[in-house]
Every structure is written in C-alpha cells, then in structure tokens.
Amino acid sequence: MREQIAANHALFGALLAERPPSVRIRAAEATYLAWLDIRALGVDDPGGRALHTGRVRIDGQDYGAGSTGHVRVNLATSTDRVREIVDRLARAWSA
C-alpha cells in the first residue's frame, strides 16, 4: 500500500505540474494526502467549484496557522482515479 501511495503522489505531482500551473503541491510527509497551495488560482470558492463543476470533493477546512488557501486531496486510490482527479480539478478551476 505504501508503494502505491508513493507512486500516486509522484503521478499526482507530475500531472499537476502540467496543469493548472498556478497550483503548487506541498511535499508529502508520510501521508496519503496531497496538500495543494491554491492561493494563486484567484478562484472564488475553489472547493465549491471542485465539487460542483469537477465533481471532486476536496477538503479545505481551517487546519491552523498557514493553512488558509490550501486544500488536501486523498491519494489512497487507483492511478486511474488520480488521473481523473487532476483532469476534473483542472477543468473546474479553469472554468
């Protein structure tokens, strides 16, 4: 399972680097969650857009100091689903 999640992190990071360019991924720290810095998107309610337009639920709660403008994505899934998540987020945040 750890190898699969590590592979998903690598894939997610590579795909995210291609689009949207203003989203930054924070380095994983022994977790199945990817933390994204989405402040540069300039999108009103990026979580709502991800859910309603992209049909991807992302978690953007307040996790304390430094968490504003960041969301997390669960990568404990298949590689096909990781690709689909990136495609849907890119479409939602570009709309």
Q: How confident is the model at residue 28 (pLDDT cuts 50, 70, 90)?
A: low
Of 55 and 20, the structure prediction assigns the larger pLDDT to: 55
Mean pLDDT of the chain: 82
Q: What is the CA radius of gyration of the chain?
A: 12
Single pTM value for the model: 0.79
Of 75 and 45, the structure prediction assigns the larger pLDDT to: 75
Sorted by where each starts, the structural domains of the chain and their CATH numbers stand as 2-94 (3.90.1150.10)
- pLDDT tens digits along 76-92: 999 999 999 999 888 88
